[in-house]
A and B are shown apart, each in its own frame.
Chain A
Amino acid sequence: MIDAIFAHLPILLIVLPLMAAPCCVLVGNGRAAYLLALVVSFAAFACSVAMLGETLQHHVVRYELGNWSPPYGIEYRVDIFSGFVMAFVSGIGAIVLVYAPLSVRDEIPASKHYLFYATYLLCMTGLLGMCVTGDLFNVFVFLEISSLSSYALISLGRTRRAPLAAFQYLILGSIGATFILIGIGLLYQMTGTLNMADIAARVPHEHGPRTVLVAFAFLTVGLCVKMAVFPLHTWLPNAYTYAPSVVTCFIAATATKVSVYAFVRLIFGIITPGFAFDVLPLDTELMLFSLVGIFIASIAAIYQNNVKRLLAYSSVAQIGYMLLGISMATPTGLSAGIVHMFNHALIKGGLFMVAGCFALRLGSVQLSDWKGAGRTMPLTAIAWAIGGLALIGVPMTAGFISKWLLLTSAFETGRWPIAVLMLVSSLLAVVYVWKVVETLFFSEPSEAAAGATEAPLRMLIPTYLLIGATLLFGVWTPYSAGIARQAAIVLLGGTP
C-alpha cells in the first residue's frame, strides 16, 4: 500500500488538490471547504516532502502518465530542483491556509468563501503542476490553471480597484502565456516533440537556426512577464496591493518563484546555458535588467505609503537578485538564485502575513494608519522587524545566506562591479524596511493603532512559523543552501 502510494506520488500531488477543488464547490459551505482545503494542502505538502526525499536519493523520479511512455505520453519528471520548489510552494501554501480563515472572514463576503478555497486549491494545483511535469505543453496548461485562478483570487479584494488590478494582470499575463505558447509551438516545429528532456537532446545547439532563436525569445519574454522582471513588472504592484491579504501572501511567496523555476528549467533543461549565455548574450542582458530593476524597484519601494505596495515593489527587486544568481551559471551562482527563491518566499510570505495581521486589526495597510502600532501590537511589529532584517540580508537571517552566496559567486566569476552594485542596492532595502519600523515603534499611535489589540494567535502562529523559519534557515542551511547546491549541480549536468 505504502509502496503503491510512493509510486504514484507525482500524480497524487496534482490530483489531490485538483479533485478537492470541485469538491469544495460541491459542499458549498465555507467552513467545510476550508477544512477540506487545509487537509488537502497538508497532504500535498507531505507528498512533496516525500518526493523531495526520493529525489535526494535517486536524483530523478519519473512517472509516466497513463503508462504512456515518453515522448508520446506525458511524463512527470521530478529532480532535486523541482522537488525543492514543490516542497516549499506546498509548504507555504499549507501554512498560509492555517493563517487564512480570520483574514478571509474579514475581507471576503461569506457567500464566496467556499469558492475562494476552491480557487486557492486550483492555483496550488497549477503551481505544483508546473514543477512536476516534464512536458512543455503541460507547463503551459498548468501555468494557465494557476494564472486564471490567481486572477480570480485577486479580484476578490475588498476595494473596487481589485477587479481592475486583476483585469490588468489578466491582460498582461495572457499575453505572456500566449508568448510562451508561441515559443512552445516553434520548438515543437523544430524537434517534433514536447518532452523537455527530448527537446534538449534534439534542439540544434551551436548555431541554432533562427526558429530556435525566435522560440527562445518568445519563451523568455513570456516568462519574464510572469516573473515580473523589470520592465515587465507593471502588473505586479497593483495585483499585490489590492488582492485580499491571504491571496497576496500566497501569490507573492509562490507564483513568481514558480515562474523563475520554469525559466531556469528552460535555460538549463531545454536550451543549454552554453546556448543562452555563450552564443547569445543573455547573461549580460539579464544582469543589466536585474540590476536596473533592483535599483528602480527599490527606490520606488522607498516612496510608497501603502505597505503592501511597498512590499510588492520590493518583490520586483528581489526577483532581480534571483536572476542575477541564475545568470552567473556557476554552481554557486545558480544555487544562490535557487536558495533565494526559497528564502525570499519565506521572508515575503512572512512579511505579507504581518501586513495581513495589521490589516485585520487596523483595517488598513496605509503606513499612516500603522503609526505607533508597535505599542499595541508588539508581537506583530517585532515579526515585521525580523522579516525586514531578513529582507535586508543581515547575518543570522535567511536573506544573508542568499546574499552571501550571490556575492561569492560574483567574485568567483570575476564580476566584482556586480558585487558592489548588489551591496549598494541592499542599502536601499534598509531605507524602506526601516521606514516602516520607525513608524511602528516611534510614532504617536494613530487612532486605529491606539485602540488595536494584538493580532489573534491563529494568525500570529503561522506568521511566526515563517518568520522563525527565516531565522532558522539563516543559521542552519543543509536543507536550504545545501539542497539548492545539489540542485544547481544537477542542472549544470554534474552529479552531486
Chain B
Amino acid sequence: MSPDHLIWISLALPLLAVGLIVLFGKSPDLRDGASGTVAGLLLIVVASLSIGVFSGKRPEWHLGEMLPGFEIAFRVEPLGMLFALVASGLWILTTAYAVGYMRGHHEIHQTRFFACFAIAIFAALSAAFSANLFTLFVAYEVMTISTYPLVTHHGTDEAKRGGRIYLGILLSTSIAFFMLAIVWTWSLAGTLDFQLGGILSTAVAENRISQTGLGVLIGLFTFGIGKAALMPFHRWLPAAMVAPTPVSALLHAVAVVKVGVFSVMKVCVYIFGLELLRETGVSLYLAYVAGFTLVVASLVAMTKDNLKARLAYSTIGQLAYITLGAMLATPNSVIGGGMHIAMHAVGKITLFFCAGAIYVAAHKKNISDMEGLGRKMPFTFAAFLIASVSIIGLPPGGGAWSKWFLALGTVETHQYLLTAALMVSSLLNIAYLVPIPMRAFMKPSKSEDESESETGNWFSNMQEAPAMCVVPLCVTAIGSVVLFFAAQWIYQALLPITAMPS
C-alpha cells in the first residue's frame, strides 16, 4: 500500500475507534476489545508508514482547503513520525492499563472516557503529521477540547477547578499568543507550510521584520504553545492531575505535553529554520527561560509529597529540556530534544503507571505513606526505579543519550550557564525520584499489618495491582532500557531534520 494512503488510514483508525466505542458502549468487554484492536492496528499502520519515512520518503495527503489559502494537509517527516510512533505505541499499553485501572476502580462514564481518549490520539496523530501550521493549530485545539472531559472526569469540585485552570491556560495562551503568531507568520511569509530551513528567511532578508520582532514572534510561539508548559504558563499541568491516572499517564506524559514540545520543535525547525535562529540568536532568551523552568520545576517537585504532583512538576522540568534543545538550535541539541520526546515519554508513562498501580492496589497517593510498600509491589517499584534512571539520564536508561546531546548543544553554543543548569537539574532529578523506590524497598512498612506480611515467602506477600495494570508498566520500563540501545537508530532517523535545505 502506498504511504500516502497509510496517512489517512492512520488518522481514520482512532476515529473508527471512537465510533466503535460509542456503538459498543453498553457492553464493556466488546468496547474495550474494539478499542485495543484498533490501537494494535494503528501501531501496525504507523510502523509501516515509518519504514518509508525513515528511508527518506515524505508521503503527503491533502484533505482540502478549509479557507482559501489555508489547507488541511498532512506530510510526514521524521520528527512527526517519531512522535506518532511513540503516541500510537503507548496508546496500546495505556488502553490495556486503563481497562485494568478503570475497572479496578469502578469508574463511571467509561464509554465517554475511552471515546475522548481516542479523539485525543487522533488529534495527536494529526498534529504529528501536519504539513502546515494551520493544520497543526486545528489539531492542537481539538486536543485541548477533547481532553477537557478527561481532566474533569470525576465531576467533583476539585475536578471542576482543575479543568478550569487546564482549559483556561491552554485555551487562552493558544488563542492569545499562538494564533496571533501564526497569522503574523502568514502575513510575513505568505504561507504556513512547514519547510526545511524555515519560511521566514525571505521576510528577514527583505527587512520586513526586525530582530526584536523575530524575538517577539518566537516568544509568542513558545509561550502560546501552552502545552509545552514553559513557566509561567505551567500551572495547568499540576491542575490536570485530578484526572484518573491513565489520563495523566497518556495525556500528561505523552500526547498533550508532547504535542506541545513537538509543536515548539516543529516551529523552530520548519518555520524559523535552525540556521536563522543560530545566526540571529533571537531564541536564546527562551533557552534561558527553559533553563530557569527546568531548575525551578525540579526544586518544586522535591517539595511535593503527592506522587502525581511530584511527577507533574518533574514533567514540567523535562519538557523544558526539549524546549531548551529547540531554542539552542544546533543539530545536536535539536536531535537531543527530539530524542527526549521519545525517551521521556516512555519513562514518564512508566512512572505514572506505577503511581496508578500503587493507588489501585494500596490506595496511597502520598510518597510518605509508601515506605515499605516495595515488598508488596516489587514489580511496580522496580519498574519505577528503572524509569527513574532513564528520566534522570543515567545509563542504561534511554534518557542518558538525549541529555548527552542536549548538554553537547549547550557546550557548542558556549552557554555554560545552561550546561550547569542541566547538570544541577539532573542531580535534583535523582534527589526527588530515586528515594521513592528506595524507601519503598528499604524502609520497613509503617502499617500495622506488617507482622503478617513478614511471614511466608515473598511471592505470597505480594499485593500487586491487577495484571492489566502491572504488565503495561513492566513493558514500558523495559522499553526505556531498550531505547538506550536503540538510540543510534533514532539519531539516524532524526538527522535529516537538521540538514540544510538543498
Q: Do A and B come from one complex?
A: yes
Which residues of chain A have a CB within 8 Å of any CB of chain B? 389, 392-396, 401, 404-405, 407-408, 410-412, 416, 419-420, 423-424, 426-427, 430, 434, 438, 441-442, 475-477, 481-482, 485
Query: In the bound complex, what is the Cα–Cα distance between A70 and B190 (angstroms)?
Result: 45
B385 interfacial contact with A, CB 8 Å: no
On whether the beta carbons of A482 and B164 are closer than 8 Å, the reply is no
Closest chain B CB from A341 CB (angstroms): 17
CB contact between B164 and one of A393, A410, A434, A481 (< 8 Å): that residue? A434
B175 interfacial contact with A, CB 8 Å: yes
B4 interfacial contact with A, CB 8 Å: no
| Chain B residues within 8 Å of A424, by CB | 176
Given contacts A411-B186, A438-B160, 19 further A-B contacts (CB under 8 A): A389-B145, A395-B142, A396-B142, A404-B67, A404-B179, A411-B183, A423-B175, A427-B171, A427-B172, A427-B176, A430-B168, A430-B172, A430-B175, A438-B164, A442-B152, A442-B155, A442-B157, A481-B67, A485-B68
| Chain A residues within 8 Å of B156, by CB | 442
Given contacts A442-B152, A442-B160, A485-B68, contact A392 B171 (CB under 8 A): yes
On whether the beta carbons of B176 and A423 are closer than 8 Å, the reply is yes
B66 interfacial contact with A, CB 8 Å: yes
| Chain B residues within 8 Å of A404, by CB | 67, 70, 179, 183
On whether the beta carbons of A396 and B138 are closer than 8 Å, the reply is yes
Closest chain A CB from B243 CB (angstroms): 14
Task: Identify whether the interface residues of B are mostly helix, strand, loop, or mixed.
Answer: helix
Query: In the bound complex, what is the Cα–Cα distance between A407 and B180 (angstroms)?
Result: 8
Task: Identify whether the interface residues of A are mostly helix, strand, loop, or mixed.
Answer: helix
Closest chain A CB from B329 CB (angstroms): 26
Interface string of B126-158 (1 = CB under 8 A from A): 000000000001100110010000001001110
B495 interfacial contact with A, CB 8 Å: no
On whether the beta carbons of A442 and B145 are closer than 8 Å, the reply is no
B159 interfacial contact with A, CB 8 Å: yes
| Chain B residues within 8 Å of A482, by CB | 68
On whether the beta carbons of B138 and A419 are closer than 8 Å, the reply is no
Query: In the bound complex, what is the Cα–Cα distance between A477 and B64 (angstroms)?
Result: 11
B184 interfacial contact with A, CB 8 Å: yes
Contacts A/B (CB < 8 Å), 18 sampled: A392-B171, A394-B145, A395-B142, A396-B138, A396-B141, A401-B67, A404-B70, A404-B183, A407-B180, A411-B187, A427-B171, A427-B176, A430-B175, A434-B167, A441-B155, A442-B155, A442-B159, A482-B68
Closest chain A CB from B62 CB (angstroms): 14
Query: In the bound complex, what is the Cα–Cα distance between A427 and B186 (angstroms)?
Result: 22
Smallest Cβ-Cβ distance to B185: which chain A residue = A411
| Chain A residues within 8 Å of B70, by CB | 404
Query: In the bound complex, what is the Cα–Cα distance between A394 and B146 (angstroms)?
Result: 12
Closest chain B CB from A214 CB (angstroms): 39
Query: In the bound complex, what is the Cα–Cα distance between A394 and B141 (angstroms)?
Result: 7
CB contact between A408 and one of B142, B155, B183 (< 8 Å): that residue? B183
| Chain A residues within 8 Å of B171, by CB | 392, 394, 427, 430
The 10 closest A-B pairs by CB, nearest first: A411-B187, A395-B138, A442-B160, A395-B141, A407-B183, A427-B172, A423-B176, A411-B183, A394-B141, A423-B175
Query: In the bound complex, what is the Cα–Cα distance between A440 and B233 (angstroms)?
Result: 28
Query: In the bound complex, what is the Cα–Cα distance between A187 and B160 (angstroms)?
Result: 58
Given contacts A434-B164, A477-B67, contact A407 B155 (CB under 8 A): no
| Chain B residues within 8 Å of A485, by CB | 68
Query: In the bound complex, what is the Cα–Cα distance between A475 and B65 (angstroms)?
Result: 9
On whether the beta carbons of B172 and A407 are closer than 8 Å, the reply is no
| Chain A residues within 8 Å of B72, by CB | 475
Closest chain A CB from B64 CB (angstroms): 8
Query: In the bound complex, what is the Cα–Cα distance between A404 and B142 (angstroms)?
Result: 16
